[in-house]
């Protein structure tokens, strides 16, 4: 199921389904998007705050549902992640989402929605910059706009020549692209919303996690047989996941070598997607073919219609 392609003059709905965002940052995002030619609809609870959450759970969930039900809204864009998305899952109506397919985009804590809307509704979603991300970064904005406006034909996702990828295990693999933030993927295990990796190509990224924490999360996925079921794995940006010294720690690369590199499935690292820039937009749920040697993702079908 696909959302309608985005055109100049279309309407973007902004929501805060996780942590609150600075009001000035949201206002600046609105100005930027309007300057690109889009109309903006603000979620009723876009500016709410309740501790570390952007308002009460039912209110944040109602903003999601109202955006899907609003025929004027062509794209739903989250303004930030943080924490809180998983708290909303019991309040979502997946039948309504199925009946109103549209572009849904964000990353980080938004990972839970991206994979679940694909899994429960068959909706292709987008691991993309947030409304308050730095969309003035040229490569980031080019990928963002191309995906939503031109992604009605097959296309290729690949780093610019300034950013090399690293082939870990050579080969190609096909499957639906899933994943996002590693911490959020692990938090789904053992719940009714657990991620399904069988026959899929898994993309993972994270931020601010020490190597032992990455080790713990990858070990959890291994014990749950989630990594072994993938047809391929793509490692994105792991920003600030290193330490000032390693006297009592493995390096992040050593963790990857020990936990991942012996899986004997096509794998590459260094894809520019995650908590850094440039930030490439990825279609979650789309059928893709990855090539580990070239570090490319061939999107084999339309991701918008």
Convert the pLDDT of each residue in 238-286 to its tens digit: 999 999 899 899 999 999 999 999 999 999 999 999 999 999 999 999 9
Structure tokens at 106: 């964000």
Residue 126 sits in which domain range? 11-133
Asked if 174 and 49 sit in the same domain, the reply is: no
Query: What is the tally of structural domains in the chain?
Result: 2
Asked if 126 and 31 sit in the same domain, the reply is: yes
Q: Is residue 66 part of a domain?
A: yes
Q: Is residue 150 part of a domain?
A: no
Asked if 108 and 160 sit in the same domain, the reply is: no
Contacts of 26 (CB under 8 A, 6+ apart): 14, 46, 47, 79, 131, 132
pTM of the model as a whole: 0.97
**For residues 218-243, average pLDDT:** 98
pLDDT of residue 5: 98
Rounded distance between C-alpha atoms, residue 80 and residue 95, angstroms: 25
Asked if 246 and 167 sit in the same domain, the reply is: yes
Rounded distance between C-alpha atoms, residue 111 and residue 86, angstroms: 9
Asked if 123 and 160 sit in the same domain, the reply is: no
| Dihedral pair phi/psi, residue 170, rounded to 5° | -70, 160
What confidence tens digit (pLDDT) does each residue in 112-122 have? 999 999 999 99
Asked if 240 and 129 sit in the same domain, the reply is: no
Contacts of 34 (CB under 8 A, 6+ apart): 40
Q: Is residue 1 part of a domain?
A: no
Asked if 89 and 176 sit in the same domain, the reply is: no
pLDDT of residue 204: 98
Contact indicator for 280, 271 with CB cutoff of 8 Å: yes
Asked if 188 and 124 sit in the same domain, the reply is: no
Q: Which residues are catalytic?
A: 108, 205, 275
Rounded distance between C-alpha atoms, residue 89 and residue 23, angstroms: 26
Pairing relation of β-strands 11-15 and 75-78? parallel
Q: Where are the alpha helices (DSSP H) in 233-296?
A: 252-259
- Beta-bridge mates of residue 269: 166, 235
CATH of the domain at 295: 3.50.30.60
Asked if 21 and 52 sit in the same domain, the reply is: yes
pLDDT of residue 188: 97
């Amino acid at each position: 199921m696909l959302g309608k392609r985005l055109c100049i003059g279309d309407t973007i709905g902004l929501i805060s389904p996780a942590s609150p965002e600075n009001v000035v940052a949201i206002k600046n995002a609105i100005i930027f998007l309007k300057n690109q030619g889009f109309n903006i609809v603000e979620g009723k609870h876009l500016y709410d705050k309740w501790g570390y959450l952007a308002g009460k759970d039912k209110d944040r969930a109602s903003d999601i549902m109202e955006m899907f039900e609003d025929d004027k809204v062509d794209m739903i864009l989250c303004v930030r992640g943080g924490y809180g998305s998983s708290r909303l899952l019991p309040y979502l109506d997946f039948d309504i989402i199925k009946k109103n397919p549209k572009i849904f985009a964000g990353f980080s804590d938004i990972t839970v929605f991206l994979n679940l809307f694909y899994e429960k509704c068959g909706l292709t979603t987008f691991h993309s910059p947030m409304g308050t991300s730095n969309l003035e970064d040229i490569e980031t904005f080019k990928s963002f706009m191309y995906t939503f406006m031109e992604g009605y034909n097959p296309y290729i996702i690949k780093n610019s020549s300034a950013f090399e990828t690293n082939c870990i295990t050579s080969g190609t693999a096909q499957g639906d692209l899933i994943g996002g933030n590693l911490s959020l993927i692990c938090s789904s295990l053992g719940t009714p919303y657990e991620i399904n990796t069988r026959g899929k190509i898994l993309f993972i990224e994270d931020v601010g996690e020490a190597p032992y924490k990455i080790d713990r999360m990858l070990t959890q996925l291994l014990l749950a047989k989630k990594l072994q079921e993938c047809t391929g794995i793509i490692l994105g940006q792991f920003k600030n996941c290193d330490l000032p010294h390693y006297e009592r720690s493995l390096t992040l690369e050593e963790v990857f070598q020990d936990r991942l590199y012996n899986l004997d499935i096509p794998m590459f690292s260094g894809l520019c997607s995650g908590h850094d820039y440039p930030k490439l937009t990825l279609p979650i749920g789309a059928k893709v073919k990855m090539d580990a040697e070239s570090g490319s993702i061939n999107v084999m079908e339309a991701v918008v219609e």
